[in-house]
């Protein structure tokens, strides 16, 4: 049964009226945020306020804080795109997966990592590589109680594989033109919950991959396009509007009077194409663990900046996560900034890094790929007298009912 | 016409007894894919019997990323090479069947019949360019003209003219003029009732 649109037309109209009200509300808050962003308090006050929210008396602040030391950049600083270096090596990684199917008589999952190398400033054909790995040993696909591992566990393992392969590739390319930019298609502040099988080992492996990238001298960047959930700078602006007493009493996990506004709203309105915001770090226990935890260190705290990219036709906002070993090096940040702007101008109207687009294309496992792999595995099962379960009765019923409706076409016959 | 590296046109994607489509990578597109070229491919479950066909369409497929790049003011040279050499940009070649025959001891198809083959080729079979000797042998008779001129959904007039110009190079220089004149006379018999079409085809093959 198709969706009966005549029954939802009126509901869509009602929603449209509500959108008008929401937009008005957001516009007023954005004006307040822009005013606070343009006129931040003196650095001394900012430092005192940050020290307060990092003290044991106050908890729950998950907003941005400016960097300490020579890498400090004013909260409201905006930097235009520097000229790109004459040559560079840009590597990008992305991953895809097939989750284990509990219904199958034999359990397995697949992680496919796509890697792409772009030689900036050199007339060379870009390099591409895919690394598929099939996991089927019971120790890999079952938890300690013999249950099939969850999709979240596969996702966490995929993230680690992506970063490990990026690290290996960076190491292999360490002799190529510098700077060596390593692009990762997600945020860098990765974390796993305790329900993920082997969560501690996964975090150790992830930190190990970061160390490998650092050792290779790579300028690592986690690229988050259209970061609709980020509001760390909005939280900072709210914090800076409070007195010390108010800060102690306020719910700092919210945006206060700016609640509902996201960083993307603010930076879309204050950045012009090619510009980036100041580098800051997020105040969070997880980032603290990166900075001080096992396998980490001061170089592994994750910082970020916002970048407005443009293709000349469209612009887009991205949050770029960088480890502190990159954030502390102004020249590295400039090179990364310039090369990201250049990458985003390469694919027509779409302002997104070309290398990441290609890494995604290499990594993706389509429905047809999944079907082919299942067929290959089913052949092996049948050879050993095991009948694969292709569909449960429920799945088969859905497939039948959802199948394309056949037309009685009496016209065409044959023909190539 | 017959360098071994340059003889493979592609692999069969889908086929009927009237024609077939084969695919290849955009990187490999070259002279073997010329409009009007003669190609051969073994029919299903018979390595000795081959279909002879004429290439009548070469289609380079696109995708959304290519569409985006087309819109760019300038394409980065490395992106261009990446698109052409790394990405799987498929090329489809459509072939019209015009005859079939059996390989001789040298693997060449000679004494071919100018008619539709008994079976189509199987998918993934290698499609090869005909050797000059095969083209010469096949075009000794003009019976295949009828199949070309009557083929639906094919630019038949241009295809026949392109095939004849292509075939002329398989002839010794001294025989080319006579071959074209003989072909022109046969076309005149087939298209005698359609003078506009006849004059168009004759203009296309005029030596």
Domain extent listing, chain A: 48-368
With beta carbons less than 8 A apart as the criterion, state whether A323 and A214 touch.
Answer: yes
Interface test with A, best of B13, B18, B56, B65 (most A CBs within 10 A): B65
The shortest C-alpha distance from A344 to chain B (Å) reads 12
Convert the pLDDT of each residue in A394-416 to its tens digit: 878 887 887 776 655 555 444 44
Interface check B20 vs A, CB under 8 A? yes
Question: Which of B20, B22, B76 should we substitute to test contact with A (largest number of A Cβ atoms within 10 Å)?
Answer: B76
Q: Do B81 and A414 touch (CB under 8 A)?
A: no
Q: How far is CA A24 from CA A163, A238, A389, B63, B79, in A?
A: 42, 20, 55, 40, 43
pLDDT at A23: 65
B65/A347 touch (CB, cutoff 8 Å), yes or no: yes
What is the structure's pLDDT at A193? 92
Each domain of chain B, given as residue ranges in start order, spans 8-205
Pairing of β A180-184 and β A219-225: parallel
What mean pLDDT is reported for chain A? 91
CA distance B156 to A82: 58
Residue of chain B nearest A362, judged by CA positions? B87
pLDDT at A295 over 70: no
Which residues of chain B are under the pLDDT cut of 70? Answer: 1-6, 88
- Out of B69, B73, B85, closest to residue A347 by CB: B69
3-state secondary structure chain B: CCCHHHCEEEEEEEECCCEEEEEEEHHHCCHHHCCCCEEEEEECCEEEEEEEEEEEEEEECCCHHHHHHHHCCCCCHHHHHHHHHHCCCEEEEEEEEEEEEEECCCCCECCCECCCCCCCCCCCCEEEECCHHHHHHHCCCCCHHHHHHCCCCCCHHHHHHHHHHHHHCCCCHHHHHHHHHHHHHHHHHHCCCCHHHHHHHHHHHCC
Q: What is the pLDDT of residues A114-128, one digit of tens each?
A: 999 999 999 999 999
Q: pLDDT per residue over A349-377, tens digit each?
A: 899 999 999 999 999 999 989 998 988 99
pLDDT for A381: 87
Q: Does residue A179 have a cis bond before it (omega within 30 degrees)?
A: yes
Lowest mean pLDDT of A287-291, A294-298, A354-358, B112-116, name the range: A294-298
Of A122, A312, A347, the CB nearest to B73: A312
| Contact between chains at B20 and A416 (C-beta distance less than 8 A) | yes
Lowest mean per-residue pLDDT among A164-168, A191-195, A304-308: A191-195
A90 secondary structure, DSSP code: E
**Contact between A277 and A232 (Cβ < 8 Å):** no
Does residue B27 belong to the interface with chain A, where contact is any CB pair within 8 Å?
no
Q: Nearest-CA distance from A352 to chain B in Å?
A: 12
Which pLDDT score is estimated for A394? 83
Q: Which residues of B touch A357 (CB under 8 A)?
A: 65
Looking at residue A415, its pLDDT comes to 44
Q: Would you say the ipTM is above 0.85?
A: no
- Predicted local confidence at residue B2, as pLDDT: 46
> Does the pLDDT at position A209 exceed 90?
yes
Cβ contact A311–B72 (<8 Å): yes
Residue A37 has pLDDT above 90, yes or no: yes
pLDDT digit string, tens, across residues A381-391: 889 888 877 67
Q: Which of A122, A126, A414 sits opposite B86 (nearest CB)?
A: A126
Chain B residues lying within 8 Å of A313, measured CB to CB = 71
Residue A317's pLDDT is: 97
Identify the closest residue of chain B to A119 by CA–CA distance.
B78
Determine contact: B111 vs chain A, CB below 8 A: no
More confident residue, A206 or A347: A206
Is B72 in contact with A119 (Cβ distance < 8 A)?
Answer: no
Q: Which of A102-111, A181-190, A247-256, A287-296 ranks highest by mean pLDDT?
A: A181-190
Q: Which of A311, A349, A416 sits opposite B14 (nearest CB)?
A: A416
Of A175-179, A282-286, B43-47, which gets the smallest average pLDDT? B43-47
Instruction: Report d(CA A321, CA A319) in Å as an integer.
Output: 6
Share above pLDDT 90 across residues of chain A, in percent, rounded to a whole number: 73
Instruction: Please list the residues that pair with B5 across neighbouring strands.
Output: none
Per-residue pLDDT at A142 exceeds 50:
yes
Closest-CA residue to A128 (of B70, B68, B78)? B78
Please state the pTM of the whole predicted model: 0.82
């Amino acid at each position: 049964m198709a969706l009966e649109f005549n029954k939802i037309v009126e509901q869509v109209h009602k929603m449209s009226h509500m959108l008008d009200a929401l937009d008005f509300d957001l516009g007023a808050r954005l004006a307040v945020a822009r005013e606070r962003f343009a006129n931040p308090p003196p650095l001394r006050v900012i430092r005192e306020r940050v020290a307060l929210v990092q003290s044991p008396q106050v908890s729950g602040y998950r907003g941005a804080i400016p960097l300490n030391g020579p890498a400090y950049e004013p909260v409201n600083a905006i930097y235009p795109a520097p000229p790109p270096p004459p040559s560079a090596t840009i590597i990008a990684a992305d991953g895809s997966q097939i989750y284990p199917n509990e219904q199958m008589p034999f359990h397995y999952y697949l992680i496919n990592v796509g890697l792409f190398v772009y030689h900036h400033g050199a007339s060379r054909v870009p390099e591409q590589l895919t690394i598929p790995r099939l996991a089927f040993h019971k120790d890999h696909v079952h938890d300690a109680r013999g249950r099939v591992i969850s999709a979240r566990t596969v996702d966490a393992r995929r993230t680690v594989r992506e970063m490990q392969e990026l690290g290996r590739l960076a190491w292999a390319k360490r002799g190529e033109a510098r700077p060596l930019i390593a692009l990762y298609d997600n945020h860098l502040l990765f974390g796993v919950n305790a329900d993920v099988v082997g969560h501690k080992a996964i975090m150790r492996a992830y930190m190990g991959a970061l160390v490998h990238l650092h050792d290779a001298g790579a300028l690592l960047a986690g690229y988050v396009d259209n970061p609709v959930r980020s509001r760390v700078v909005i939280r900072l602006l709210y914090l800076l509007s409070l007195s010390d007493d108010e800060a102690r009493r306020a719910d700092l996990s919210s945006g206060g009077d700016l609640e509902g506004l996201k960083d993307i709203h603010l930076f879309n309105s204050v950045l012009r194409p090619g510009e980036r915001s100041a580098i800051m770090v997020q105040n969070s226990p997880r980032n603290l663990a990166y900075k001080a935890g096992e396998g980490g260190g001061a170089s592994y705290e994750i910082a970020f900046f916002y970048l407005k990219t443009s293709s000349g036709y469209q612009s887009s906002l991205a949050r770029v996560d960088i480890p502190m070993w990159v954030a502390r090096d102004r020249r590295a940040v400039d090179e990364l900034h310039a090369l990201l702007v250049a990458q985003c101008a390469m694919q027509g109207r779409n302002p997104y890094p070309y290398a990441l687009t290609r890494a995604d294309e290499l990594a993706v496992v389509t429905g047809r790929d999944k079907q082919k792999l299942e067929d290959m595995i089913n052949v092996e099962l049948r050879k050993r007298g095991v009948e694969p379960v292709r569909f449960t009765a429920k799945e088969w019923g859905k497939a039948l009912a959802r199948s394309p409706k056949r037309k009685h076409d009496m016209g065409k016959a044959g023909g190539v | 016409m017959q360098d071994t590296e340059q003889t493979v046109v592609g692999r069969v994607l889908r086929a009927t007894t009237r024609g077939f489509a084969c695919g290849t990578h955009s990187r490999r597109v070259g002279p073997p894919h010329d409009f009007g070229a003669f190609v051969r491919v073994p029919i299903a479950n018979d390595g000795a019997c081959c279909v002879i066909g004429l290439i009548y369409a070469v289609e380079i497929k696109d995708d959304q990323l290519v569409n985006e790049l087309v819109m760019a003011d300038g394409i980065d040279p490395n992106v261009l090479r990446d698109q052409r050499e790394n990405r799987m940009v498929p090329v489809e070649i459509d072939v019209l069947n015009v005859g079939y025959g059996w390989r001789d001891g040298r693997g060449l198809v000679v004494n071919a019949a100018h008619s539709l083959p008994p079976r189509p080729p199987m998918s993934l079979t290698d499609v090869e360019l005909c050797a000059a000797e095969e083209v010469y042998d096949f075009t000794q008779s003009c019976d295949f003209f009828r199949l070309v001129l009557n083929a639906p959904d094919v630019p038949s007039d241009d295809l026949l003219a392109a095939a004849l110009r292509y075939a002329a190079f398989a002839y010794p220089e001294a025989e080319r003029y006579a071959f074209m004149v003989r072909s022109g006379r046969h076309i005149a018999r087939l298209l005698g009732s359609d003078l506009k079409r006849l004059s168009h085809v004759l203009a296309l093959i005029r030596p």
